[in-house]
């Protein structure tokens, strides 16, 4: 029975840890605060930038799955020490370092994003994410660690409450039949990566040596606009259509005066003002994971939110 370490227990980390348990692995989850144990998962309270303790926790692991991220407005300060600690622990223990990344490093591009695009972002967050991966890739090429990065678009699915633009600001109102507002153009095509597919990809690449040393895109369904996704969620929930409005730039600008988080969104506003499309064909040609059909994603997500909010299932 192999042993895996998962750093972080947000939507992706939790889904990854529980999938590993389903597959018969033992799992140790590292978070700052820790949690109560659950079947097959040991929760450890630990700051993952503490290299010595992280190495001790990960000793004997087949893989370290990096699913954590610092607070959004502290990326430039907090990502470098976290990434260095993860790389050091991977080097000391021999565990495969499986990194969950995103698409920020490409910056604004015309057309679908593939793994062959240069990492040419000029914004702070894009440069930080690029540096995190380049550090691990360099160590991999030097033979000091074994590393792979899995890149996802905006998360969608059960457990996604924060961050994603189809999360707490959008789904609860629409389930109650109320209008929703969203950042950017609600009609721009956008790729949504389903969290269970993220977990399945992270787990698959950990055991595939031919995947190591490069980045891969998580299998993701064809793009749909926010308006399309809202319409599908409403249809499944039986709430009827709701109005979908883009949040005016002036409103975002005013809110940014008081919110560090909203100020940070300026750098990535392009992702919602124009088409933002992930191409996962390279991964799908090489490995077995496929993206979950969008109707299944909608059904599971709608049900998760209804359960969370205590609303009735109008479809029975």
* Per-residue pLDDT at 251: 64
Which runs of E-coded beta strand occur in the chain?
Answer: 3-7, 26-31, 41-45, 63-66, 96-101, 147-151, 154-156, 180-183, 192-194, 215-217, 244-247
Confidence class of residue 184 from pLDDT cuts 50, 70 and 90? confident
Position with higher pLDDT, 35 vs 286: 286
| Closest C-alpha to 132, from 60, 10, 143, 121 | 121
Share of the chain above pLDDT 90, in %: 80
CATH architecture of 157-191+222-278+293-309: Alpha-Beta Complex (3.90)
Please state the rounded mean pLDDT for residues 268-273.
Answer: 88
Q: How long a stretch of residues is the chain?
A: 316
Which residue, among 103, 93, 244, has the nearest Cα to 177 in the 3D structure? 244
Q: How many CB atoms lie within 10 A of CB 316?
A: 5
Residue 128 confidence (pLDDT) = 96
Tell me what pLDDT residue 169 has.
Answer: 86
- Tokens matching residue 162: 């924060």
Chain segment 219-244, per-residue pLDDT in tens: 999 999 999 999 999 999 888 899 99
The burial of 299, by beta-carbon neighbours within 10 Å (0-12 exposed, 13-18 middle, 19 or more buried), is given as middle
Give Cα 177 to chain centroid, integer Å: 28
For residue 316, name the pLDDT band (cuts at 50, 70, 90): very low
Per-residue model confidence (pLDDT) at position 240: 85
Can you give the residue ranges of every domain in the chain?
A: 3-154+192-217, 157-191+222-278+293-309
* DSSP H or E segment with residue 156: strand 154-156
Domain 3-154+192-217 sits in which CATH superfamily? Answer: NAD(P)-binding Rossmann-like Domain (3.40.50.720)
User: How confident is the model over 39-53, as a mean pLDDT?
Assistant: 96
Mean pLDDT over 272-298 rounds to 97
Mean pLDDT of the chain: 92
Report the distance separating Cα 163 and Cα 72, nearest Å. 9
Q: Is the pLDDT of residue 41 over 90?
A: yes
pLDDT of residue 314: 46
The burial of 87, by beta-carbon neighbours within 10 Å (0-12 exposed, 13-18 middle, 19 or more buried), is given as: buried
pLDDT confidence band for 182 (50 / 70 / 90): confident
The band of 248, judged by pLDDT with boundaries at 50, 70 and 90, is low
Q: What is the pLDDT of residues 84-131, one digit of tens each?
A: 999 999 999 999 999 999 999 999 999 999 999 999 999 999 999 999
Task: Return d(Cα 180, Cα 115) in angstroms, integer.
Answer: 33
Quick one: average pLDDT of 17-44?
A: 95
Show the tokens assigned to 100. 């969950």
The residues that bridge with 246 in the sheet, in sequence order, are: 182
Which positions ≥6 away from 21 have C-beta within 8 Å?
Answer: 27, 39, 40, 41
Give 166's pLDDT tier (boundaries 50, 70, 90).
confident
Whole-prediction pTM = 0.94
The pLDDT assigned to 255 comes to 60
CA–CA dist 111, 100 (Å, integer): 23
- State CA 106 to chain mean position distance: 16
Q: How many Cβ atoms from other residues are within 10 Å of residue 61's Cβ?
A: 24
Cα Rg of the chain (Å, integer): 19
């Amino acid at each position: 029975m192999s042993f895996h370490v998962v750093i972080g227990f947000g939507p992706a980390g939790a889904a990854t840890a529980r999938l590993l348990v389903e597959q018969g692995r033992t799992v140790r989850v590292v978070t700052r605060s820790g949690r109560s144990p659950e079947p097959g998962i040991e929760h450890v309270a630990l700051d993952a930038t503490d290299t010595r303790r992280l190495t001790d926790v990960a000793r004997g692991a087949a893989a370290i799955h990096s699913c954590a991220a610092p607070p959004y407005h502290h990326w430039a300060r907090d990502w470098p020490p976290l990434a260095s600690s993860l790389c050091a622990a991977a080097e000391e223990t021999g565990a495969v370092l499986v990194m969950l990344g995103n698409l920020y490093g490409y910056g604004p591009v015309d057309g679908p994003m593939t793994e062959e695009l240069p990492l040419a972002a000029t914004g702070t967050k894009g440069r930080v994410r690029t540096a995190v991966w380049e550090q691990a890739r360099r160590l991999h090429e030097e033979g000091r660690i074994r590393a792979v990065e899995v890149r996802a678009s905006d998360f969608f699915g059960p457990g996604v409450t924060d961050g994603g633009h189809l999360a707490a600001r959008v789904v609860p109102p629409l389930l109650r039949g109320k209008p929703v507002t969203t950042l950017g153009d609600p009609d721009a095509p956008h790729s949504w990566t389903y969290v269970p597919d993220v977990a399945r990809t992270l787990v698959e690449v950990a055991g595939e040596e031919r995947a190591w040393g490069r980045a891969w895109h998580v299998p993701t369904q064809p793009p749909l606009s926010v308006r399309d996704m809202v319409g599908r969620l409403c249809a499944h929930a039986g709430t009827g259509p709701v109005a979908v409005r883009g949040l005016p730039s002036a409103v975002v600008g005013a809110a940014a005066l008081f919110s560090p988080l909203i100020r940070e969104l300026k750098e990535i506003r392009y992702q919602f003002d124009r088409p933002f499309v992930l191409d996962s064909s390279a991964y799908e040609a090489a490995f077995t994971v496929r993206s979950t059909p969008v109707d299944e994603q909608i059904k599971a997500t709608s049900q998760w939110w209804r359960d969370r909010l205590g609303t009735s299932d109008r479809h029975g």
